[in-house]
Amino acid sequence: MNSSNSQHFLWLPLSQRLTFTLTLLVLGLGYLFAMLHVFSSHAGRDGDPGLSVTDLIIAYSGSPGDTRLEAALKGPMQNMLSGEERNTIIAWVRSETGEAGYRSEVEPIIEARCLTCHEGSNPHIPTLASYQDVAKLVERDTGMDIFTLVRVSHIHLFGLTFIFFLTSLIFSHAFLRPLWFKCVVIAVPFVGIILDVASWYLTKVHPAFAWVVMGSGALMALSFAIQWAVSIWQMWFYRLPRDLVEAQGALPIVGQPATIRA
């Protein structure tokens, strides 16, 4: 009944506890760096410092705001042309007519109203001399592209599963009641990985899924912290309850005889 994979830490050989402890220490450090990385690559995208749901929406689905050309036409460049001309350009930006639409509708306005300054001689302001120049200013920010997402997905799915397999296997030697809580702490990160990765794609469809990205990340981190702290604590600083000592360290795991579980 007391197979070693269902035994409390204190029944495990010192060498195994040492292996577990060192693994947890390095993984803990890795987790801190991973969080730093998430923070530094997403925080502040919306203009405010700190990591917010808006930052995640912009990272995954892009910025819903105006393109650079539209922002300029509504802002500093608004007096350079008539309202009608401005509407024509903005309508083109939002249409799908591309270069053909540009040639027939927009190019004449740009030539008449903008090229005196934007013909390319001033290196500090964008050139509007060719269609390609203008196209660069109307590229919509659609967030992380699918290929990047696919690449990051497979790294996350493999990497995080590997990490949580290790921490959960170590944590399975801990004594934690109620038993359902222990099982939840083990299951949450695995469910979290799937929800997290799926929500990156779903945020492109609906921005509300950024909340799921945020929530699943937080739950994963919380489970990791619980597994980490409980494991370290019980390996080195814990005194076992009496009934567990009598059962020779065999942990109450689902499926074992009720006599041990009592």
Shortest Cβ 74–ligand HEC spacing (Å): 11
All residues at 6 or more sequence positions from 104 whose CB lies less than 8 Å from its CB, including other chains: none
Shortest Cβ 89–ligand HEC spacing (Å): 7
Cα(191)–Cα(250) distance, rounded to whole angstroms?
27
Contacts 24+ apart (CB under 8 A), 156-163: 156/193, 156/196, 156/197, 157/193, 157/197, 160/189, 160/193, 160/220, 161/190, 161/193, 163/27, 163/30, 163/31
Q: Which is nearer to ligand HEC, 77 or 221 (CB)?
A: 77
Considering the rule CB under 6 A, would residue 76 count as an interface residue with ligand HEC? yes
**Cβ burial 244-259 (10 Å sphere, 16+ → b, else e):** beebebbbbeeeeeee
Alpha-carbon torsion (62, 65, 70, 73), positive or negative: negative
Considering the rule CB under 6 A, would residue 83 count as an interface residue with ligand HEC? no
Which stretch, 66-74, 178-186, 193-201, 236-244, contacts ligand HEC (CB under 6 A)?
A: 66-74
Q: Which is nearer to ligand HEC, 117 or 135 (CB)?
A: 117
Considering the rule CB under 6 A, would residue 125 count as an interface residue with ligand HEC? yes
User: What part of residues 23-62 is at the interface with ligand HEC (CB under 6 A)?
Assistant: none
Cα(233)–Cα(217) distance, rounded to whole angstroms?
24
Shortest Cβ 32–ligand HEC spacing (Å): 37
Considering the rule CB under 6 A, would residue 114 count as an interface residue with ligand HEC? yes
Q: Are 4 and 251 in contact (CB under 8 A)?
A: no
Considering the rule CB under 6 A, would residue 257 count as an interface residue with ligand HEC? no
The structure tokens 């592209």 sit at: 145
Shortest Cβ 75–ligand HEC spacing (Å): 8
Count of residues engaged in binding ligand HEC, rule: CB under 6 A: 16
Q: Which two tokens stand for residue 115?
A: 């090229």
Considering the rule CB under 6 A, would residue 116 count as an interface residue with ligand HEC? yes
Considering the rule CB under 6 A, would residue 69 count as an interface residue with ligand HEC? yes
Q: Report the Cα–Cα distance between both ends of the chain, in Å, rounded.
A: 15
Q: Which is nearer to ligand HEC, 45 or 118 (CB)?
A: 118
User: What part of residues 137-156 is at the interface with ligand HEC (CB under 6 A)?
Assistant: 137
Nearest CA among 128, 42, 106, 112 for reference residue 80 = 112
Considering the rule CB under 6 A, would residue 72 count as an interface residue with ligand HEC? yes
Considering the rule CB under 6 A, would residue 80 count as an interface residue with ligand HEC? yes
**Contact pick of 22, 26, 35, 117 for ligand HEC (by CB under 6 A):** 117
Contact residues toward ligand HEC (CB under 6 A) are: 68-69, 72-73, 76-77, 80-81, 113-114, 116-118, 125-126, 137
